[in-house]
Amino acid sequence: MRIEEEINQKKFKSVYQKAHINVLFTASWLSQNSAQMLKPFKISWQQFNILRILRGMYPEPATIKLLTERMIDKMSNASRLVEKLKQKGLVERRVCPSDRRRVDIEITEKGLQLLEDVSRVMEEGLHQRMNGLTQSEAEQLNLLLDKLRQ
């Protein structure tokens, strides 16, 4: 559906304003869809993001600073998210033996298993949400979004 129909707005001040609103609306739409897919697993999009970062580093640990730098949502409180994941047994926090001021975060086996299950569901959902784009169009979209952030 076109953005004009989605938000019931016929005119925009410029094509740039329309693109801006369209990107924001679409990001929100994708985020809501992702949240729905994650709901049965009782984790948020931000928690899923942290688990993915930790899996990518596994078996090496990460620091809160590193997690914050790599997170998609830079406004998220990584310390709070890690604490929630720790309470669920998905990550462990350990004082670094070589630098007692540093706290290392590692994904647990339970976290790795959950991430495998969630990733499968997310991948299936991704194909459903993006089925309106060809592979070539998805590549072009990626190029345009990267260009927009330059």
On the CB side of 61, how many CA atoms lie within 13 Å of its CA?
A: 16
What is the arithmetic mean of pLDDT over 37-45? Answer: 96
As a whole-number percent, the residues of the chain with pLDDT over 90 amount to 82
Task: Copy the structure tokens of residue 75.
Answer: 């406004």
Mean per-residue pLDDT of the chain: 93
Residue 131: pLDDT band by 50, 70, 90 thresholds?
confident
How many Cβ atoms from other residues are within 10 Å of residue 82's Cβ? 22
| CATH code for residues 42-148 | 1.10.10.10
- Taking only the tens place, the pLDDT of each residue in 80-105 is 999 999 999 999 999 877 877 888 99
Of the candidates 108, 64, 115, which has an alpha carbon nearest to the alpha carbon of residue 89? 108
Coil vs helix vs strand at 44: coil
- Each domain of the chain, given as residue ranges in start order, spans 42-148
Would you say residue 23 has pLDDT above 80?
yes
The per-residue pLDDT for 101 is 81
Looking at residue 92, its amino acid is E
Q: Crossing angle, helix 15-38 and helix 109-129, to 10 degrees?
A: 130
Q: Which residues, listed in sequence order, are joined to residue 107 by a DSSP beta bridge?
A: 91
